[in-house]
């Protein structure tokens, strides 16, 4: 076997890389939620926060790492699912899967797929608008030219169906994370029975914070449109 082949290309390695990229994406979610929460501090504070994110060199580098993390996680997830389907070419006539496992654990490709659809929409609505267009107005505050990203975000949240899609996507993400969080530790080999309960609890609380946190911001600005 060629050196390190097993570390990149084997069933155990694929799980490991799913886990590592998953945990990395989880930390990104926390940062993202943190920035979004600044919206509650008002327009200027939020625009300063996005200005920082758009100009800080470390964040700029991490953007590419993040994109790579997403790609690996998504491509490997699809590949794993295809291999796993092939591993049972003839299925059961009657399967009582609920007797031994949770829906969220069995349907990561569905919850993940929904998040991916949202992610594409999200990139178009925010990332593309913020980075590649001049559609967003600017203004100067304390000598710094700021993009009015606050206006872009808060105005999207005034559209009811966008808010519905947004909230549904974060429910799907919460379901995905509820299994994914503790699953990542198992795949990386960092789990045992002593830690199992705690990891599941932390994972569930974390999933709820992400799902409720992001949704709450959207709903708040829908109910209290910013001027």
Partner 1 sequence: MSSNKDMDLLLKIWRQADANSKGELVDYNVTGISPDSSFLEMLDVLNEQLVEKGQEPVVFDHDCREGICGMCSLFINGEAHGPGDQITTCQLHMRSFNDGDTIYIEPFRATAMPVIKDLVVDRSSMDKIQQAGGYVSVNTSGNTQDANALPIPKADADAAFDAATCIGCGACIATCKNASAMLFLSAKVSQFALLPQGKVEAADRVKNMVRVMDEEGFGNCTNTGACEVECPKGISLDNIARMNREYLSASLAD
Positions in the binding site for partner 1 (CB under 8 A): 1, 3-7, 10-16, 80, 83-84, 86-97, 99-102, 105-106, 108, 179, 182-183, 186-193, 196
| Distance of closest approach, residue 6 Cβ to partner 1, in angstroms | 3
| Distance of closest approach, residue 17 Cβ to partner 1, in angstroms | 10
CB of 102 or CB of 158, closer to partner 1: 102
CB of 107 or CB of 155, closer to partner 1: 107
Round to whole Å and give the CA distance between 33 and 35.
5
SS3 (DSSP) at 134: coil
| Distance of closest approach, residue 98 Cβ to partner 1, in angstroms | 9
CB of 13 or CB of 226, closer to partner 1: 13
CB of 15 or CB of 43, closer to partner 1: 15
Backbone angles phi, psi at 138, to 5 degrees: -120, 160
- Burial class of residue 111, CB neighbours in 10 A (0-12, 13-18, 19+): buried
The answer to whether 89 and 120 are in contact (CB under 8 A) is: no
**Segment (H or E) for 117:** helix 108-122
CB of 58 or CB of 86, closer to partner 1: 86
| Distance of closest approach, residue 114 Cβ to partner 1, in angstroms | 17
| Distance of closest approach, residue 66 Cβ to partner 1, in angstroms | 23
**Segment (H or E) for 57:** helix 57-86
Sign of the dihedral through C-alpha 113, 114, 118, 119: negative
| Distance of closest approach, residue 197 Cβ to partner 1, in angstroms | 13
62 to 17, 31, 67, 68: CA distances (angstroms): 18, 12, 8, 10
CB of 51 or CB of 191, closer to partner 1: 191
């Amino acid at each position: 076997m060629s050196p390190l082949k097993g570390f990149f290309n084997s069933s155990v390695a694929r799980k490991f890389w799913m886990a590592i990229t998953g945990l990395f994406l989880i930390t990104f979610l926390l940062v993202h939620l943190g920035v979004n929460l600044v919206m509650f501090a008002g327009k200027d504070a939020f625009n300063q926060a996005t200005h920082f994110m758009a100009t800080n060199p470390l964040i700029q580098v991490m953007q590419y790492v993040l994109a790579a993390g997403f790609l690996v996680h998504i491509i490997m997830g699809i590949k794993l699912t295809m291999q796993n389907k092939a591993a049972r070419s003839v299925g059961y006539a009657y399967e009582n899967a609920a007797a031994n496992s949770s829906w969220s654990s069995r349907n990561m490709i569905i919850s993940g797929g929904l998040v991916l659809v949202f992610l594409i929409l999200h990139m178009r609505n925010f990332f593309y608008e913020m980075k590649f267009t001049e559609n967003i107005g600017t203004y100067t505050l304390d000598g710094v030219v700021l993009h009015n990203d606050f206006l872009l975000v808060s105005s999207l949240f005034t559209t009811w169906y966008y808010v519905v899609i947004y909230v549904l996507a974060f429910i799907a993400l919460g379901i995905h994370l509820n299994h994914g969080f503790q699953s990542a530790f198992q795949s990386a080999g960092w789990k045992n029975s002593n830690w199992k309960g705690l990891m599941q609890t932390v994972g569930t609380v974390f999933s709820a914070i992400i799902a409720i946190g992001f949704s709450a911001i959207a709903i708040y600005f829908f109910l209290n449109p910013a001027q």
